[in-house]
Amino acid sequence: MSIRKRDDRAYSAHLQGTLDLLILRMLALGPRHGQGIARDIQRQSDEVLIVDHGSLYPALQRLEAKGWIEATWGTSENNRKARFYALTPRGRGQLVRETDRWGRLVAAMGRVLARDGADG
């Protein structure tokens, strides 16, 4: 989910918000290191969403700066030193708000796409 391929700032902000929501959702399932977050997003989206490291790590830094996640050093499953990220209470609140917003957006898109055009 790279956001560097277009200059359109609104588009970039929208993709950033999407990635932020996906990261928060993964962390609601428990602490993870960056590679684990990217892997879980890819797996849970049936390989449709692929998060590259050039997008993931700036997003993690942005979320940490906002106080929505926190990071601690630990050891990964392959015995490497890694930063593990966890959702904070503020992050959990943001996840609820953003999930609701996305639900409304998806429902609205569904209504528009389901119309047969006869309504004008």
Domain extent listing, the chain: 4-119
Token pair recorded at residue 10 = 């609104």
pTM: 0.81
Integer Rg of the chain from CA: 16
pLDDT tens digit sequence for 22-43:
999 999 999 999 999 999 999 9
> Could you tell me the pLDDT band of residue 15, with boundaries at 50, 70 and 90?
low
Q: What is the mean pLDDT of residues 75-96?
A: 95
pLDDT tens digit sequence for 46-62:
988 899 999 999 999 99
State whether CATH 1.10.287.370 applies to domain 4-119. Answer: no
Contacts of residue 2, defined as CB under 8 A and 6 or more positions apart, other chains included, come to 52, 54, 55
Tokens 């449709």 locate to 48
pLDDT at 75: 92
Coil, strand or helix at 91: helix
The dihedral built from the CA positions of residue 32, 41, 102 and 7, taken in this order, carries a sign that is: positive
The dihedral built from the CA positions of residue 57, 62, 68 and 72, taken in this order, carries a sign that is: positive
Distance in angstroms (rounded) separating the CA atoms of residues 9 and 3: 10
